[in-house]
Amino acid sequence: MAIIVNKKEKRRNIALACQELLLEHGIDNITISQIAKTAGVGKGTVYEYFENKEDIVFEIITTFVVEYEKRFEEISTSDLATREKLFRFFNLLFENETARRHLVIYKEFLAISMVHEIPEMLRFSEEIQAKFVKFLHQILQEGIGRGVLQEGIEDYTHTMMLFGTGLVVDSRLGIYEIGKEIECFLDMIFMFKQGGAS
């Protein structure tokens, strides 16, 4: 009897096996031979499941996004105070060593999608953004309902997402204390409710 291979699972397993290699060397400094050896498969198998190295990064990010989507949903639907939800929302990609390692690969993905303008990757980025905007909007709406955020603040959801994107991009500089920057940003948002800004 022939062995049935779950192609989606096999693709994901090959990609995830290459995480450490990618983190250590970066996409530009690894070869398909190294990828195949690390994943314990032949070069032909790598090409059977992936068009190129960039496609492997895309698969890794797709796997991470599913995981982070669940986490964002947990945050947005939790009983935490609005400010704590917002802090956790923006800090999620920086909260621990695992998250920071995922962030390194996410930056590779961003670089590839911006430089090569691969339609599938750009579309995927838009879909991710839309999901995360939805979670952020939900937190803001709840904060308005609780009376801790100014009505109309939800109109700035996309602007707030740009702050989050800026954190991701600038975190590579290593000159910012991410938690401190998020707290300053939240101080500014909550200042509107207190009448401290016009």
> Tell me: the pLDDT tens digits for 142-176?
999 999 999 999 999 999 999 998 888 787 777 77
Measured N-to-C along each axis, helices 53-77 and 82-91 cross at an angle, to the nearest 10 degrees, of: 170
Q: Same domain for 165 and 102?
A: yes
pLDDT band at 194 (very low <50, low <70, confident <90, very high): low
DSSP 8-state symbol, 28:
G
Higher pLDDT: 186 or 52? It is 186
pTM for this model (two decimals): 0.81
Q: Same domain for 168 and 92?
A: yes
Q: Same domain for 113 and 90?
A: yes
Domain count, the chain: 2
Q: Same domain for 59 and 45?
A: no
Task: Tell me the one-letter amino acid at 133.
Answer: V
Its domain, for residue 98, covers 52-194
Token pair 């096996």 is found at 17
Q: Same domain for 40 and 100?
A: no
Q: Is the dihedral of CA 78, 83, 89, 91 positive or negative?
A: negative
pLDDT surpasses 50 at 55 = yes
Q: How far apart are CA 106 and CA 64, in angstroms?
A: 9
CB 72 within 8 A of CB 91: no
Domain of residue 30, CATH code: 1.10.10.60
pLDDT band at 197 (very low <50, low <70, confident <90, very high): very low
Q: How far apart are CA 139 and CA 145, in angstroms?
A: 10
- Tokens found for residue 145: 């309902």
Q: Same domain for 170 and 185?
A: yes
Q: Same domain for 22 and 67?
A: no
Q: Same domain for 122 and 159?
A: yes
Q: Same domain for 60 and 143?
A: yes
Q: Same domain for 105 and 190?
A: yes
Report pLDDT for 4.
Answer: 64
Q: Same domain for 27 and 65?
A: no
Average pLDDT, the chain: 87
Per DSSP, the three-state class of 52 is: coil
Q: Same domain for 67 and 16?
A: no
Question: What are the φ/ψ torsions at residue 80 (nearest 5 degrees)?
Answer: -65, 160
Domain of residue 60, CATH code: 1.10.357.10
